[in-house]
Amino acid sequence: MATIVEPHPHHSIGMTETARRIWAIVGGSSGNLVEWYDFYVYSFTALYFASEFFPAGDQTTQLLNAAGVFGAGFLMRPIGSWLFGRIADKRGRRTSMMIAVILMCAGSLLVAVLPTYATIGLAAPFLLLFARLLQGLSVGGEYGTSATYMSEVALHGHRGFFASFQYVTLIGGQLLAVLVLVIIQQFLSDTELKAWGWRIPFAIGAVAAVIAFFLRRSLAETTSASARREKEAGTLKGVFRYPRSFFTVLGFTAGGSLVFYTFTTYMQKYLVNTAGMDAKIASRVMTVVLFCYMLLQPVFGALADKIGRRNSMLCFGVFTVVATVPILSALAHVADPYAAFGWAILALAGVSFYTSISGLVKAELFPMHVRALGVGLSYALANAAFGGSAEYVALWFKSIGMESTFFWYVTLMGGIALIAAILMPETRRNGHLREDEGRLMEA
């Protein structure tokens, strides 16, 4: 099997080795794209199928129930991060990523063929919940392992740029989900979409996951045999030997995930349910927004290679604290789709300071033998508590007539991310990935 050699920082890398690393980034990120497409397509199609599984109540109540199931998938992430992180640290990143994408395939396929409430009654929402739990388990393992893999395989001195492609594909998964929905909207009426058309994106995701599995089979392994054999490899005991790293990632993720989901997955509903924008127009706006946001990731990743990880995180924290309330307040009353685009992309430009290097910073905080578990578990715990609940909390505040309180909640969590940035070390030069340089990474 292929191996990857990490060069000494003063040594040059041949074109063949560079090409191999780029192919590894492409192969790893393609699976990441499918994983996140499958997970996010639920959120973007909820406007059409919520009433099919939760028939009681008005639109806000139906969306609230659907958002609850969406959030439940996040509760499985800590379990998935522990399970797949352990596999990745003890058996290798490649094995872990292959299993995760097949599990995602199973969840998407189940949703695609699931009978509705009108057919099987209460069993329908419970089976929907089960499918989301499978997907949550898969994504819980995907983030930590793919973030670790892409950080380890990235070229020295350009890790911010190359590692940013994790979020390129993560956002690309969202974008693809929106794009598929927009295309389907052109050919099907709202009645057809609510009756059966919403199933099409899930079927596409199941097929794509199978393709991603075969792509991942060809990936090179980035862990060393000695690291996988360490006594504490892939164990919680090993992770908690680095408490500062663990809690730093918790702080970043609590604020970062909440802000990210607020301005991406929830934004389509916000434009429809609060600003009163037509659902099809809102989908088109978010398609363009997500495309531009995706393109920003390598730019901000390259910037982090120049100014340092800590400075990038500080910029994110300050921006979130200062700009969240004004931007969400403006979007609440926006009528023009161009204005909606402008406000949304401004918000996501600020978020890019975090998302472009999110996985890399976390990977640099943990040593190789516990890196996948350390990154994945700390991320999953905060993401489940704050990212997964973003839509539900926002809709709940709206349902009780206190929507603006949600704006301040997001600001508060951004402040926690800012504190984490202030307290973190600069990992560009002193992170654990630098300790790996010069080692032979065997399959």
pLDDT, tens digit only, all 443 positions of the chain = 444 444 444 333 445 667 777 777 777 777 778 877 877 788 778 778 877 777 766 667 667 777 777 667 777 888 988 999 999 998 888 889 889 888 988 988 998 998 888 888 888 888 888 888 888 888 888 878 888 888 888 777 788 888 888 888 888 887 888 788 888 888 888 888 888 888 999 999 999 888 888 888 878 787 878 888 888 888 999 999 999 989 999 998 999 999 999 998 789 889 998 888 888 899 889 889 989 999 999 999 999 999 988 999 999 999 999 999 999 999 999 989 999 999 999 999 999 999 999 888 888 888 888 898 988 898 888 888 888 788 889 989 988 989 899 999 999 999 999 999 998 877 666 666 666 654 434 43
Of all helices (H) and strands (E), which one includes residue 441? strand 440-441
Find, among 320, 330, 302, 314, the residue nearest to 260 by Cα.
320
The fold adopted by the segment(s) 14-427 is Growth Hormone; Chain: A; (1.20.1250)
End-to-end CA distance of the chain: 6
Query: By three-state DSSP, how is residue 11 classified?
Result: coil
pLDDT of 6: 44
pTM of the model: 0.80
Please give the C-alpha separations between residue 126 and each of 39, 119, 120, in angstroms, as whole numbers: 17, 13, 10
pLDDT at 1: 41
Give the pair of three-digit tokens for residue 268.
């389509």
Residue at token pair 């930590």: 144
Q: Where are the domains of the chain?
A: 14-427
Give the span between the Cα atoms of 18 and 153, in whole angstroms.
10
Backbone phi and psi for residue 441, each to the nearest 5 degrees, phi listed first: -100, 110
